Chain A
Amino acid sequence: MARSSRLCNVLNNAKHHLIAAVTLASFTLAAPLAAQNKSGSTGEEVVLGLSKDRVAITATFDGSEILVFGAVKRETPIPTGAPLQVVVAVSGPASPVMVRRKEKKLGIWVNTDSVLVDSAPSFYAIATSAPFSDVLTDTEDLRYRVSIERAIRSVGAGMHIRGAQDFAEAVIRIRTQDDLYSLRENTVAVDEETLFRTAIDMPANLTEGAYRTRIYLTRGGEVVAQYETTIDVDKVGLERFLYSMSREQPFLYGLMSLAIAIAAGWGASAAFRLLRNS
């Protein structure tokens, strides 16, 4: 970091302009986004852009990639010491999850113990600019609940059950296998301690809701600035229509399903008869 502060400021300004230009050109929503922005003691602040702040689930939805990019705004020169690191965490709506464990009883595998995990996000992706333990200390992780383990809350786990902690781990393991949870270290690119960017992959089996997106700037494992916004994931068009109908007009929806089934059954029968007679 043996760079003159003046040069750095010039560089910063230039990059700010660049970010602004990119942001405008791609019709994306930059900074304010109805978000909170807290700057730490170092006077550094996050200026964020998302390639989209809304994910539309259409009939042919097959996952989505969201580009998260931003810059660090600061009035003072880049602090010396530990380099700037960035953590991006995106989490889907949380809900309680019942975890069951199988045991062999009388020769067959049956569910025996179960633990209700009070709250687990439907989706959780973390991207960091360095190995996780270097980016965030354990104390800071505890405070901000960033890591996957901390994002899951299971206070109700009964003490009478052997290895209650295994149940929370099972949630993480199973959801990681389904590509719903991911920790991608070293995937946030940071340039000149000022610009950062990463891409968050969202799988096809997304659920609807507001996806909380948090960005933390850290130095030496301590959070120096944080920023929070949401990405809305919604069904649109036919998906929206069918989903709403199934909830608001269930009787009509059921009749419609049956009518389609009967019509299809009759149609195929009639078509095959024509085919055979011709």
Chain B
Amino acid sequence: MQIYLPIAEVSVNAFLLLGLGGMVGILSGMFGVGGGFLMTPLLFFIGIPPAVAVATEANQIVASSFSGVLAHFRRRTVDIKMGLVLQVGGLIGAALGVVVFNYLKALGQVDLLVKLCYVVFLGVVGALMFIESLNAIRKSKKAGGTAPAARRQRGWVHALPFKMRFRTSGLYISVIPPILVGVCVGILAAIMGVGGGFIMVPAMIYILGMPTKVVVGTSLFQIILVTAFTTMLHATTNYTVDIVLAVLLLIGGVIGAQIGTRIGVYLKAEQLRILLAIMVLAVCIKLGLDLLLMPSDLYSLGSEGGH
């Protein structure tokens, strides 16, 4: 069934969008990532204009993250306090990111820098997570399936002032690292047009030292606020949120997120991390090849001002 999208001004198959939404929703529920880093390139591929894809994607992430976070709230795996602290940083970062984005746009190389951002961050994050979770799996196998070794303590994180107690995460740390993480993710989110979960999740685990089970719910919680903010920004300044596209994607997305959250419960933390790492690396390799291989058409069209 073909549906004409009023803002994107293209006609697409409704079932294709429902399917894409569902697939990305499952991943979102399983890993606590918004799925934007997968969905946005997929939308480009089916012919949605980039500006519309990025803006609408933010709106869809609100829905799937909200659906996912409710399940986590019931299991009490959301650290609301940590989420809010990250949020403070996130909003500062998002505002900074918009400034950086507009500056790059003026230089006319925003496309390339967004792609390089993707390749570098996905590559580094994916590789680190892959190695770490592989080691963890090997260790737990050697130990005959007993609990993994105690978390490494990061000296510098604990030496900072303004300490705060995060009961759900079982942490007593300074608020500076979470705010900095929030700022960094916020900047990247605004530049790359994603929720930032794929950076937030590893940052929470490896920098802040939060337990994996709490990380997913907390990440979803803060993604909702960031993407809601982004959606409003795009809707009021660029008029690029396509509500019809969003509805089709989110119907699939929210159902997928529910299924994904349930699958996530049955997987071990290390398995969850290694799967996410593989996925992140796959997207990174795909984007990297796009930059290295000769494109099928050297020319590209854009509107005046360009993307």
Contact = CB atoms under 8 A, between A and B. Distances in A.
Interface of A: 57-63, 95-104, 107-111, 114, 116, 166-167, 170-171, 173-175, 204-208, 235, 238-240, 242-243, 246-247, 250-251, 253-258, 260-262, 264-269, 272
A111 B110 CA distance: 10
B244 A258 contact: no
Contact of A269 (B108, B258, B301): B258
B1 A256 contact: no
A123 B235 CA distance: 27
9 contacts: A95-B304, A98-B306, A102-B300, A111-B108, A250-B236, A253-B243, A262-B62, A262-B63, A269-B254
B162 interface: no
Interface stretch (B64-72, B75-83, B153-161): B64-72
B11 interface: yes
B297 A174 contact: yes
Contacts of B9: 205-208
Contact of A96 (B244, B292, B293, B304): B304
Given A251-B236, A254-B232, A264 B67 contact: yes
B2 to A, nearest CB: 4
B241 A267 contact: no
B295 interface: yes
B302 A98 contact: yes
A256 B236 CA distance: 12
A138 B297 CA distance: 29
A240 B7 CA distance: 10
A5 to B, nearest CB: 50
Given A100-B300, A111-B300, A264-B254, A60 B295 contact: no
Contacts of A264: 63, 67, 247, 250-251, 254
B244 A98 contact: no
Given A102-B295, A102-B300, A111-B112, A62 B63 contact: no
A172 B153 CA distance: 61
B239 interface: yes
Contacts of A257: 59, 231, 235, 241, 243, 246
Interface in B236-261: 236-237, 239, 241, 243-244, 246-247, 250-251, 254-255, 257-258
Contacts of B251: 264
A96 B306 CA distance: 11
Interface of B: 1-4, 6-7, 9-11, 47, 59-60, 62-68, 70-71, 108-109, 111-112, 228, 231-232, 234-237, 239, 241, 243-244, 246-247, 250-251, 254-255, 257-258, 291-295, 297-306
B242 to A, nearest CB: 8
A208 B59 CA distance: 25
A100 B1 contact: no
Contacts of A272: 258
A260 B246 contact: yes
B67 A97 contact: no
A258 to B, nearest CB: 6
Contacts of B70: 265-266, 269
Contact of B67 (A59, A60, A174, A265): A265
Contact of A268 (B4, B257, B292, B299): B257
Nearest to B298: A102
Contacts of A102: 295, 298-300
B6 A265 contact: no
A57 B2 CA distance: 12
Given A246-B239, A265-B67, A266-B70, A258 B231 contact: yes
Q: Which of A256, A258, A261 has the most CB of B within 10 A?
A: A261
Contact of B60 (A103, A243, A254, A261): A261
Nearest to A120: B301
A86 to B, nearest CB: 30
A250 B254 contact: no
Contacts of A174: 297, 299-301
A107 B236 CA distance: 39
A59 B9 CA distance: 11
A169 to B, nearest CB: 9
Contacts of B71: 269
B297 A260 contact: no
A98 B62 contact: no
B157 to A, nearest CB: 33
A98 B301 CA distance: 6
B48 to A, nearest CB: 11
Nearest to A262: B66
Contacts of A258: 59, 62, 228, 231-232
Contacts of B68: 265
Nearest to B113: A110
A250 B239 contact: yes
A268 B255 contact: yes
A161 to B, nearest CB: 12
A158 to B, nearest CB: 14
Which of A96, A167, A269 has the most CB atoms of chain B within a 10 A radius of its CB?
Answer: A269
Contact of B235 (A62, A107, A254): A254
Contacts of A107: 292
A246 B241 CA distance: 8
Contacts of B306: 98, 100, 114
